Amino acid sequence: MRFTSEQRLDDGVLEREFTLGEIPGILWTPGSASAPAPLILVGHPGGLREMRPRLARRARHYAAEYGFAAATIELPGAGDRPRLAAAEQARSDLRRAIEAGEPVDEIVDALVLPLVERAVPEWQTTLDALLSLPEIGGPVGYEGGVISVGIRLAVVEPRISAANLFAGSFVPAALFEEARRVTIPLQVLLQWDDEGNDRQAALDLFDTFGTKEKTLHANLGGHTGVPSFEIDAGARFFARHLS
């Protein structure tokens, strides 16, 4: 892990860009801390440059108000990272199939399953590097999308103690099955009128999660209309489970 920039923000939070091999990322840590901080891994659908303001808003709230460290990385094949030809093909197949009203299950598998296979080990390597920093101590939470990545991480990565997942459609059947094996506390955020998200599929997925402690927060509005109060609701969820 190599830090490439460092900036002290006006809320006291230290924002550092880093690279881990070819993977770019950003780390936010609290301005002052008496002990190593819990860590939130902040997932997103890819395209760090465009997502950055939204991610930074959440991460800085977590760091400044709750003393959590927060970090994000670019997804494989997204942003400035090398394209993945198969993923590009699957993405364009998916658009075409949706427009034509054709079934999408096989295309979703072709798009999401390889992404999960690549992204999850990268998150785990990132977690290794972050937990080796003296200012970060765990426990660890995961939040955001891609929800399939979050499901797999929740199942395979024992260092993750809680997850705040953003509902998305296009969850492969195999990941639906894995959701039954999730046992950590979950909060699931659903936009009730998400243009690109099948509400019933999201409710079915919530129902499927195997954990005994799960909460759904559904809000009126489209995909990008998550109310700002959900930032603090996410923080409070993690505060219950990571502090």
Site residues, a copy of itself (CB under 8 A):
192, 203, 206-207, 211-220, 227, 229, 232-233, 236, 240
What is the closest distance, in whole angstroms, from the C-beta atom of residue 229 to a copy of itself in the complex? 6
Q: Is the dihedral of CA 213, 182, 145, 195 positive or negative?
A: negative
What is the closest distance, in whole angstroms, from the C-beta atom of residue 161 to a copy of itself in the complex? 16
In the complex with a copy of itself, the residue whose CB is nearer, 124 or 219, is 219
What is the closest distance, in whole angstroms, from the C-beta atom of residue 29 to a copy of itself in the complex? 26
In the complex with a copy of itself, the residue whose CB is nearer, 131 or 216, is 216
Give the strand pairing for 160-166 and 186-191.
parallel
In the complex with a copy of itself, the residue whose CB is nearer, 7 or 228, is 228
In the complex with a copy of itself, the residue whose CB is nearer, 72 or 161, is 161
What are the b/e assignments for 175-201, b being 16+ CB within 10 Å?
Answer: bbebbeebebbbbbbbbeebeebeeee
Give the strand pairing for 23-29 and 69-73.
antiparallel
* Separation of alpha carbons 159 and 124, rounded Å: 9
What is the closest distance, in whole angstroms, from the C-beta atom of residue 157 to a copy of itself in the complex? 22
In this structure, are residues 198 and 169 in contact, taking their beta carbons and an 8 Å threshold? yes
